[in-house]
Structure 1
Amino acid sequence: MISAVLIDVVNALGGVGLFLFGMIWLTDGLRGLAGQTLRNTLSRFTNTPLSGAVTGAATTALIQSSSATTVTAVGFVSAGLLTFPQALGIIFGANIGTTMTGWLATILGFKLDLGQITLPLVFLGALARLFGGARLPLIGTAVAGFALIFLGIDIVKSSLAAFQGIVTPTDFPQDSLIGRVELILIGALITVVTQSSSAGVIAALAALGAGAISLPQGLAMVIGMDVGTTVTAAIATLGGSTATRRTGLSHVIYNCLTGLMAFFLLSPYNALVGAQGLHLDSQIALVAFHSGFNILGVILILPFTGAFAKLVTLIVRDRGNALTAALGRQMLKDPNAALDAVVSSLDAVVKAQFEFLAKRLEHREATHDDTDRLREIGDAITELRNFVDGIPAMRSDDPAAARLVSVLHVIDHLGRLYFRCTQEQSLTAFSLDNRLRRLSAILRSLTAEAASATNLAATEARLNRVRRLLRAQREVYRTRIFGHATRRAVSGDTLGQRLDAARWLHRVSYHLWRIEHHMVTIHEGLAPASPRREAALDVMED
């Protein structure tokens, strides 16, 4: 008897595992198929918190992943494409979209019983992955995931059916005030262990179908499962960017408030379902309650989205290096979201580097604040480089891969420009010669202008012209200064300082131009220059 029960328990757990694998594969396949469409939809139709909620619910229901929707929204906030209140709408809507899994499982898994056709679908999905082209493997992954979901449900159903009459609602906390709290805690624990509220809902539906729990007990557990997702959200934001941490806190506060509201709705809903003449299937009633209190929560919170966003912003302050506040390890799950955050940080670092250089060219002696600012810029470049190293590998034909190439070029030139800014001897040598002073003034003026320019293409063209001017002047100056040296007009040390200063101006102008060139490429979605072209330019400008 004990061994048979143990086998059924193990089988039920295996069914939950199959369901979770199915959800992962289905999500991966659908996300890959959606591709840029998902990002375009979220950015295009999220003008207000209300439209964000609708879009977030629809996209989450489509790709079966609230985390994918949320990560994309966080990336948009980090990149400045969405405001935080707009992203909150997406996050609220994602909570509604994730309840669609319960409806899918109830109607197709428990009512229509698709478990019998799942194995052929797994086989077809495997064939598509093995022999497909670009998109067919993604379709195969989604089909196999879809099949595993219902295979898992079928196994959970059959395993828990063996407990019918053995495990009854009396074995669980009863439908009292204390009992409801205990049931909510049980539901939250299930979600924390499985890392999926959907898996918990499936288990509750199966237990309800087997008569192991009553509908009131299942309703309380579902509330706990919804609240339990906040633990996952809170853990995921540890060490994340400011936008990620604000998103995680928003998720925690919102789900806890929604769970509290749902707790007070338990008695009225139980009375409604138990009303005479209303014959509502218990499993349908469970998923309807799950969707219903999430929809009601969104309706109630949307008018106060602005105030809610201000509260969260007040609680979660910016920390660490302000130049890289957009970066968060959580975004590495989505290369496009990670690149959005990187580009946002690049904009900030480029602006800071240009402003610093313009200031140093104007004031020859470095102050304590200058030293601190340069160190902050250097730390930001290092952090950017390390973050980019963590972005998952992409296919060569992926548009994001071309974007990443330009990002790497910018980081490389920022690092080399940073090194030039540490060369104090060259920065102080301009006062030794009137020509060097005039040339440095030209570079300073254009650098200051470039730091706040909005027309990147026009600025790049001007930087290129100055780069050519300084390259020509470097050769003219070199000839001129050697003429002075033959007449013993300058000492050997002074000669070396002036030549280094002229070379410094030319090399700095080159880095400024290439940084601006690649930023244009990034923002306008152009193809990056070939590595051979970049190498040739480096050799030519050395």
Structure 2
Amino acid sequence: MTLNLLTALGGVGLFLIGMDIMTGALREAAGPDLRRMLGRFTASPLRGTLTGAVATGALQSSTAVTLMTIGAVGAGLLSFAHALGVLYGANIGTTLTGWIVMILGFKLKLGTAVLPVIFVAALAAMLAHGWVARAARALAGFCLLFIGLDMMQGGLDGADALLHPEMLPDGDGWSGRLMLVGLGVILVTLTQSSSAGIALTLVLLGAGSITFAQGAALVIGLNVGTTLTAVLAALGGTRAMRLTALGNLLFNIGTALMAFPLLGLIAPVLHGTWLGSDDQTALVLFHTGFNLLGAAVFLPLTPRFAAMVEALVPDRPMPMATPLDKRLLADEGAAMEAAQTVADQLRQTLFTALANAIGPDHDLRALGSVSAQGAPVLEALGAYLAKIHIPPDKAPEQARYVALLHQLDHLERLLERCGQRSRIDMLRKDPLLTRDVAAIRAALARDADAARFSRLARLIRYRAERFRRGALLREHAGLIEVDQVFARTDAIRWLERVAGHAERLSHYAAEARTHA
């Protein structure tokens, strides 16, 4: 029996490895398209639910979809109310794993049939490149799922002699169900995968080690437990991350509370469908059914539910670099969304501070603050970008990453300009530069587009040449001192470079968004 137990544990391990390999390869292949789909097809909570279900079904990972959703909310591409719809759908989409396990693993028994397939897939994964290698890794991971499932079944065959329903809490009573839900939460915490927990529950159910009611209560616990990883990850994270994690937790708890009283009522119905009357089919139906029911109940209440969650997570001031959460690095798209959010915030802060400094009130308070705070933010942004790894064959992501690096460079240069206070003083004193200064100030205050800054930079460059010649002539005529000539030419050169950096920042920010 010890050997059988080791075989079962090895099967769980293979299942987890297969799920990780398959999910990682699918995320690399479909991540950018799914991320764009999240932003494009979530105009309402209902559409968000459909999108979340499709995305989770495609990636076979609700965690990956949650990360994408967090990135989209943090970047302002998705409202929290619409993000809740995606979370509803993610809970529905994750039930697809149970159907795959039940139909292909138990009914068709593909564990042995996939052995030659995994050999070919492994060779292709090692020898091929680009999308072929990713597809091969996904196929290899898919095969490992069924090999692991076969090992679990073989190892737990006859397990009813050691583990039988009487040894576990009764699934027909409220107290027993609550204890089994707790066991489900512990199981998903240990495996860090609700899919593996569902597969193991189905195997135990098939071996007669648990009853249908006990298995159903375990599945409810698995459903709730899978949210705890996101809750722990959200501690100390951005408000978007905390909102998403809490909303997901409360939704799953609400769904579990609805499933409890229905379990005894619908069990006969689940066993009488055309799909089959066995316990395993009924359990997969139950898993899908109560998640569909939860989404159907919460969808009409989404605005109020979103308001309640937002009230529970106050919007307190956070440091500018807070969105750079290392937990988002698991998905390069979400990580770049976070980096772009910080870059946008710092750019707008610098623009506002400069606009106030060169304005008629000559308000230097914001400029002093951003000069002190900007350097640590830029250092954190640079370190964060260095940790983002993008495959060389993913051209749009590479282009977006390069655009972020360009923004980092120009932010550093613009921050350096903020420390050159003497240039600002000289600009305010020269009446010949009043119009140019006012134009730049207005563009900075509005966070104008690249085209506007480009026109201003060309105009200032043209006027700078005339200004320099005029200053030299006035010095030659004895109207101004030599040091005043250098001070004034340095001031207009400063203004020209500020306009140039602003134009480049706006340009690369727009370019990064086109590749999102």
Give the TM-score, by structure 1 length. Answer: 0.87
Secondary structure of the structure 2 residue equivalent to 1:239: coil
Q: How far off its partner does 1:323 sit?
A: 4.9
Alpha-carbon shift at residue 340 of structure 1 (Å): 2.6
Given the alignment, which residue of 384, 387, 391 partners 1:390? 387
1:140 and 2:122 are equivalent in the alignment: no
- Give me the whole-angstrom Cα distance separating, in 1, the residues matched to 2:274 and 2:340: 60
Does 1:419 pair with 2:416?
Answer: yes
- 2:112 aligns with 116
> What is the aligned counterpart of 2:495 among 502, 505, 509?
505
**1:327–1:342 Cα contact (<8 Å) kept:** yes
Once the two structures are TM-superposed, the CA of residue 103 in structure 1 deviates from its matched residue by: 0.8
8 Å CA contact 2:350–2:367 kept in 1: the answer is: no
Structure 2 counterpart of 1:28, one-letter code: G
One-letter amino acid of the counterpart of residue 442, structure 2 = A
Which of 491, 504, 507 is matched with 1:517 structurally? 507
Between 345-354 and 282-291, report the one with greater CA deviation.
Answer: 345-354
Matched, 1:189 2:180: no
Distance in 2 between the 1:149 and 1:275 partners?
Answer: 29
Aligned to 1:476: 469
The structure 1 residue matched to 2:224, chosen from 221, 224, 227, is 227
Superposition RMSD in Å:
2.7
Distance 1:294 1:51, change over 3 A: same
Counterpart for residue 60 of structure 2: 64
Distance 1:474 1:148, change over 3 A: farther
Q: CA shift at 1:38, angstroms?
A: 1.7
The 8 Å contact of residues 436 and 460 in structure 2, kept in 1 or not, is answered as no
Distance in structure 1 (CA, Å) of the matches to 2:274 and 2:329: 53
Q: Which residue of 2 aligns with 1:536?
A: none
> Residues 491, 63 of structure 1: CA spacing in aligned structure 2 closer, same or farther, 3 A cutoff?
closer
8 A contact 1:477–1:502 mirrored in 2:
no
How many residue pairs were aligned? 515
Gaps of 5+ in 1: 527-542
State the distance in 2 between where 1:311 and 1:262 align. 22
Q: Structure 1 residues 444, 418: CA separation in 2 closer, same or farther (over 3 Å shift)?
A: farther
Q: 1:185 to 1:424 in 2, by over 3 A?
A: same
The one of 406, 410, 427 equivalent to 1:409 is: 406
8 Å contact 1:242–1:325 — kept in the other structure? no
Q: CA deviation at 1:231?
A: 1.2
> Compared with structure 1, are the counterparts of its residues 424 and 403 closer, same or farther at alpha carbon in structure 2 (3 Å cutoff)?
same
For 1:26, the equivalent position in structure 2 comes to 22
Amino acid at match of 1:507: R
Distance (whole Å) between structure 1 residues aligned to residue 418 and residue 474 of structure 2: 24
Q: What amino acid does structure 2 have at the position aligned with 1:345?
A: V
Alpha-carbon distance change, 109 to 324 in structure 1, aligned in 2, over 3 angstroms:
same
Taking the aligned partners of 1:25 and 1:190, their CA distance within structure 2 comes to 21
How many angstroms apart in 2 are the aligned matches of 1:518 and 1:276? Answer: 57
Distance 1:444 1:242, change over 3 A: farther
Q: Distance in 2 between matches of 1:6 and 1:360?
A: 75
Higher mean C-alpha deviation, range 192-201 or range 402-411? 402-411
- TM superposition shift of 1:131: 2.4
The alpha carbon displacement at 1:9 in A equals 1.9
1:109-143 Cα distance to aligned partner (Å, 9 max, x none): 11111111122121011111122242211111111
Query: What TM-score do the two structures reach when normalised by structure 2?
Result: 0.92
- Residue 415 (structure 1) shift: 1.4
Distance in 1 between the 2:276 and 2:98 partners? 20
Return the alpha-carbon distance in structure 2 between the equivalents of residues 276 and 47 of structure 1: 35
Are the aligned partners of 2:99 and 2:284 in contact in 1 as well (CA < 8 Å)? yes
Structure 2 residue runs of 5 or longer lacking an equivalent are none
* Contact kept? 2:270, 2:285, Cα under 8 Å: no
Matches within 5 A, 1:255-404: 255-270=252-267, 272=269, 280-321=277-318, 323=320, 326-363=323-360, 366-395=363-392, 397-404=394-401
* Residues in 1 aligned to 2:109 and 2:230: alpha-carbon distance in whole angstroms: 33
SS in 1 for 2:42: coil
Q: Percent identity of the aligned residues?
A: 37
Q: Distance in 2 between matches of 1:127 and 1:146?
A: 15
Instruction: Give per-residue Cα distances to partners, 1:176-218, cap 9 Å, x unaligned.
Output: 3222211111111000011111111111111111111111111
The residue that corresponds to 1:89 in the other structure is 85
Maintained 8 Å contact 1:332/1:390: yes
> How far off is 1:489 after superposition?
4.5
The reply to whether residue 48 of structure 1 matches residue 47 of structure 2 is no
Q: Residue type matched to 1:130 in 2?
A: M
The answer to whether 1:490 aligns with 2:481 is yes
- Once residues 152 and 110 of structure 1 are traced to their aligned partners in structure 2, the CA distance between those partners, rounded to angstroms, is 12
Distance 2:396 2:271 in 1: 55
Shift of 1:284: 0.7
SS at match of 1:80: coil
Question: Does the CA contact (< 8 Å) of 2:271 and 2:278 recur in 1?
Answer: no
What is the DSSP-based 3-state SS (H/G/I as helix, E as strand, rest coil) of the residue aligned with 1:135?
helix
Change beyond 3 A, Cα 1:277–1:329 = closer
Identify which of 192, 195, 207 aligns with 1:210.
207
Residues 404 and 480 of structure 1: is their aligned pair in 2 closer, same or farther, counting only changes over 3 Å? farther
Indicate conservation of the 8 Å contact 1:60/1:66, yes or no: yes
Query: How far, CA to CA, are the matches of 2:487 and 2:198 in structure 1?
Result: 73
Q: CA deviation at 1:343?
A: 2.7
1:462 has 2:471 as partner: no
TM-superposition CA deviations, 1:152-192 (whole Å, max 9, x none) = 10000000014232321112122332222111111110000
Distance of 1:116 and 1:278 partners within structure 2: 24
Local SS of the residue matching 2:315: coil
2:28 match: secondary structure? helix
Comparing 298-307 with 67-76, which one deviates more in the overlay? 67-76
Q: Distance in 1 between matches of 2:31 and 2:105?
A: 28
Deviation digits for residues 276-316 of structure 1, max 9, x if unmatched?
99972001111111111111000000001111111122222
Q: C-alpha displacement at 1:418, in angstroms?
A: 1.2
Amino acid at match of 1:50: L
1:420-476 CA distance string (max 9 Å, x none): 1122222223355443x43xx41342342244256x243143233234235424642
Partner of 1:449: 443
Instruction: Write the distance in 1 (CA, Å) between the matches of 2:504 and 2:191.
Output: 49
Residue 533 of structure 1 corresponds to which residue in structure 2? none
d(CA) in 2 for partners of 1:276, 1:81: 42
